[in-house]
Amino acid sequence: MSDEPSAEEDIGETRSKKIPWAKIIVFAVVALVGVLVYWQYGDAISLDALAQREGQLQQMFQDHYFLTIIAAILLYVIVAGISLPGAVPLTLAYGWFLGFWLGLVIVSVGSTGGAVVAFLLSRYLFRDWIQSRLSDRFQSLNKKFEQEGAYYLFTIRLIPLVPFFVVNTAMGLTRIRTVTYWWVSQIGMLPGTAAYVYAGSTVPNLQTLADDGIGKILSWQVLLAFAILGLLPITLKKLLPLFGFSPSDTAKSTESDVVTDNE
């Protein structure tokens, strides 16, 4: 048999390296919609604007409890999904408006849902084209993420200093499973989400939050603590082999057992 690629493989490779104009147009439309939405309604989700409607929001929550919860989740999914500015003020406002526990649930569900939307947009719009141009680099990267993608993602998610859209876009280019991306993001973002929601729940009113600013509520010490928290998985991974425990050896042993059983 000849080792030379067939004509069909050549055609497939040529197509994969072509500029995906259809996907670029879709991305441009999504980006344009995001810009227009933020330009038209961006001020509406600012702390100052929400503070001016404080009484109306409370009344709406009392009159339309479940509808308000659904609307709050969808709003957060949209903001996070198309990477609009304002996620942090919105999180603080949810903490004040809904209380800690309900606010935590809604922000956690909404932020993870938005992360999955952004992740899928990145995957289906750009991954094939970028991998075709950087195939050698992406082969090694994909291999690492197939083996330990959940671990790396969990580490990144524990650090709220890493920009949200950067994580979503970068992870969409890998081969990490969507379900894995969802549940790891859900758990990994929970500590940071809890801190922001709790900070919002402690202020007496939204006007105080708007006047004082986010800096007085979330100090650099808190953010530094989360950065240190994010480094713990890496530290543990380096220290565990010193005590005779190797996660990779365990994984190989498990894989060997599975192969033996199948035989």
pLDDT digits (tens, 9 = 90+) for 198-212: 888 888 777 777 777
In a domain, 111, yes or no: yes
In a domain, 200, yes or no: yes
CA distances from 39 to 28, 94, 123 (A): 16, 22, 27
Q: Mean pLDDT score of the chain, rounded to an integer? A: 74
pLDDT digits (tens, 9 = 90+) for 113-143: 999 999 998 888 877 766 666 556 666 666 7
What local confidence, expressed as pLDDT, does residue 33 receive? 72
What local confidence, expressed as pLDDT, does residue 113 receive? 94
CA distances from 127 to 14, 114, 169, 221 (A): 16, 19, 10, 37
In a domain, 126, yes or no: yes
In a domain, 43, yes or no: yes
Task: Domain of residue 103: give its range.
Answer: 7-218
Q: Confidence class of residue 229 from pLDDT cuts 50, 70 and 90?
A: low
| 259, pLDDT greater than 70 | no
pLDDT digits (tens, 9 = 90+) for 6-24: 444 444 444 445 666 776 7
Number of domains composing the chain: 1
In a domain, 68, yes or no: yes
* 8 A C-beta contact, residue 84 and residue 114: no
What local confidence, expressed as pLDDT, does residue 70 receive? 93
In a domain, 86, yes or no: yes
